[in-house]
Structure 1
Amino acid sequence: MRIAIAGAGAMGSRFGLMLHKAGNEVILLDKWADHVNAINKSGLRVNYNGEDVVEKIPAFFPSEMEGYKGVIDTVILFTKAMQLDDMLQSIKPILSKDTKVLCLLNGLGHEDTVEKYVDKENILLGNTMWTAGLIGPGEVKLFGNGEVELQNVYPGGKEAALEVVKVLNEAGLNGIYSENVMYSIWRKACVNGTLNGTCTILDANIASFGATSVTDKIIRTIINEFAAVAAKEGINLDSEEIVNHVKSTFNPNGVGKHHPSMHQDLIKNNRLTEIDYINGAVCKKGAKYNIQTPYCQLLTELVHAKEEILIAQ
């Protein structure tokens, strides 16, 4: 399959590498000049479960797609949420009537943006539990195992979704066809909504946050706010199961020692965050349905305040 990874950061690089190694024709698309140039000069450098790997995978700036002569079967979206619209606008030349687009972004509501550029029958929404870390330009660290759950937005797109699942499985990415991917997307949004903003504001890893005496109240309240809003959209979340799942991440011998991606973006790399597409999205939807979301609202405002203090870009 001919695949473009739109947003070749840590996670995009993981998918690009694994799909490339499985024999697919992969190109990486990213706007970070140092990253693109480093990949093209020295290859994508990867610490892959402790083993150092270098793979030559073509990398491009999205703007270069205007003159791209190849045909792309599938685009996998891994941009930051606030960059999605701009990315899709830039890569319009490779979005043919047959190109399938798989959106694997964190957060909520991205299908509305994708539909502006792609016919519904070509849109796949997904959720992935794979992890990755960006070390520097052209260099990533991959660890652990995961899976990718996805589903077609339009009923007629199931055949294409199953084909993408097959390709992901052949690459060892553990693709799963879902009958209710929106539940999984909301469930993951709950995890991000409880951990990303809190660990960023507290400048703490997951285990340190989990060890505080007030953590249980914080995560339960945030998850209850998510669940109340989700119910208005026909998604009935199992709040207690999600609370227990979040608590399972506190183990310092597992992902507990990890800093969430929002912390990496803002505290480590001084970049703007996706808070508006996680807790902020719940606030916006809550206002629409007349549901109070005070914890999500405060957390969103605190993260924005932190962005201003650090002059994040």
Structure 2
Amino acid sequence: MKFTVLGSGAMGYRYGVLLQEAGNEVEFVDTWKPNVEKVLQQGGVYVSRDHKDRRLVPIKMYYPEDYTGKPDVWVVFDKQMHLASFLERMQQSFDEKQYVLTCMNGMGHVEKLLQYFKPEKIIAGTALVATVLNGPGDVDFIGARGAGTMNLANYTEKPDEMTHKIVNELDKAQFNPNLTTNFMGTLLAKVVFNSVVNTLCTLFEITMGEFASYPGADELSKQLINEAYDVCERAGIQMLNTRQEELDSVNYVSTVANPLHYPSMYQDMSHNRPTEVDYINGYLVKLGRKYHYEAATHAFLTHLVHLAEHTRQQKK
């Protein structure tokens, strides 16, 4: 099967490289010039695992305007705030037969993809796997090979033959995919997870393990999870996990799977890049207000992240 990765950052590299190593034809497209030029210069991307065994993996990388390939499946991993312009630059390559798979953080990307792809061609999900982009053309896969899981669902909630073929390739690449028929519940599970771990670790500049070691971590997590679930219940969304299962997921990933990991929001903040907080905590706030519920804690944290961003910019 042929895959093309749109957005060759930490997660884009991880999915693309592992799908390639599982025997698929994979190409990469990115808009970040230092990244594209570095890959073209060195003939691939340097891949480490847990900061060790760094090796050069040959890959094919393109700018949007230079890409002429026709993949079976697009794998989309751009930042929420960049996606609309990226898709516009790529639209000449899209056709009605192609599928698109995305496991981006936050919410808002599906609506943008629907402008270019039929609903029955869209598969979206969440990936509980940690990856760090060290710099242009240099990525670090956190966790042992086969560690981590992912949930995914068809937008129509009706899996077809192609969906099962994609899931099979993801399984061969050891992403441990779990195909569901609950689209919104699947996506919101990761949004709620990120609204706790990503946001709090970013604000206090700590790893997931450091957060979990705080005696009051469960109380903080429960407050955010309960508020998020109150929002989703009012919106009529059937969540994939119970509230307790969501808390258990936060604790397992933070203490066992990736205790040394700094979440992606922290990585953006530490490099003075805009964060995706408006698409995570901020999304829950907007969804709650739509149903006359004020997610006050999530609103407060959204403001705190923007205050931290503002303060860092003032010091530059």
CA contact (8 A) 1:150 1:161 kept: no
**Counterpart residue type for residue 174 of structure 1:** N
SS of the residue 2:160 aligns to: helix
SS of the residue 2:259 aligns to: helix
Aligned to 1:48: 49
CA distance, structure 1, for counterparts of residue 87 and residue 258 of structure 2: 32
CA distance, structure 1, for counterparts of residue 263 and residue 307 of structure 2: 18
CA drift of 1:177 comes to 2.1
CA distance, structure 2, for counterparts of residue 241 and residue 26 of structure 1: 35
**Counterpart residue type for residue 143 of structure 1:** I
Q: TM-score, normalised by structure 1?
A: 0.92
CA drift of 1:213 comes to 4.2
Deviation readout 1:145-201 (Å, 9 max, x if unpaired) = 123322211256522211111222233333332222432322221111001111111
CA distance, structure 1, for counterparts of residue 53 and residue 81 of structure 2: 33
Aligned to 1:122: 121
CA drift of 1:137 comes to 1.1
CA contact (8 A) 1:72 1:95 kept: no
Aligned residues with identical type, % of pairs:
30
Aligned to 2:172: 170
CA distance, structure 2, for counterparts of residue 164 and residue 254 of structure 1: 25
Deviation readout 1:29-64 (Å, 9 max, x if unpaired) = 111111111111211111135323212111112233
Aligned to 2:265: 262
Aligned to 1:110: 109
Aligned to 2:17: 17
SS of the residue 1:47 aligns to: strand
SS of the residue 2:15 aligns to: helix
CA drift of 1:77 comes to 0.7
Structure-2 change in CA distance of 1:247 and 1:170 (3 Å): closer
**Counterpart residue type for residue 35 of structure 1:** N
Aligned to 1:239: 243
Deviation readout 1:4-28 (Å, 9 max, x if unpaired) = 1111111111111111222322111
CA distance, structure 1, for counterparts of residue 54 and residue 199 of structure 2: 32
Answering whether residue 29 of structure 2 is matched by residue 29 of structure 1, we say yes
**Counterpart residue type for residue 131 of structure 1:** A
Structure 2 gap ranges (5+): none
After the TM superposition, which of the residue ranges 155-164 and 72-81 deviates more from structure 2? 155-164
Aligned to 2:208: 206
**Counterpart residue type for residue 49 of structure 2:** Y
CA drift of 1:245 comes to 2.3
CA contact (8 A) 2:158 2:181 kept: no
CA drift of 1:264 comes to 0.9
What does 1:1-313 align with in structure 2 at a 5 Å threshold?
Answer: 1-42=1-42, 43-48=44-49, 50-65=52-67, 68=68, 70-144=69-143, 145-154=147-156, 158-231=160-233, 232-236=235-239, 237-251=241-255, 254-267=257-270, 269-311=271-313
SS of the residue 1:264 aligns to: helix
After the TM superposition, which of the residue ranges 74-83 and 138-147 deviates more from structure 2? 138-147
Q: TM-score, normalised by structure 2?
A: 0.91
Structure-2 change in CA distance of 1:167 and 1:207 (3 Å): closer
Q: How many residues are paired up? A: 308
Structure-2 change in CA distance of 1:216 and 1:117 (3 Å): same
CA contact (8 A) 1:4 1:27 kept: yes
CA distance, structure 2, for counterparts of residue 199 and residue 258 of structure 1: 10
Structure-2 change in CA distance of 1:166 and 1:41 (3 Å): same
CA drift of 1:235 comes to 1.6
CA contact (8 A) 1:151 1:158 kept: no
**Counterpart residue type for residue 192 of structure 1:** N
Deviation readout 1:100-141 (Å, 9 max, x if unpaired) = 011211112432221111111111111212221111110111
Structure 1 gap ranges (5+): none
Q: C-alpha root-mean-square deviation of aligned residues, in Å?
A: 2.0
Structure-2 change in CA distance of 1:209 and 1:26 (3 Å): same
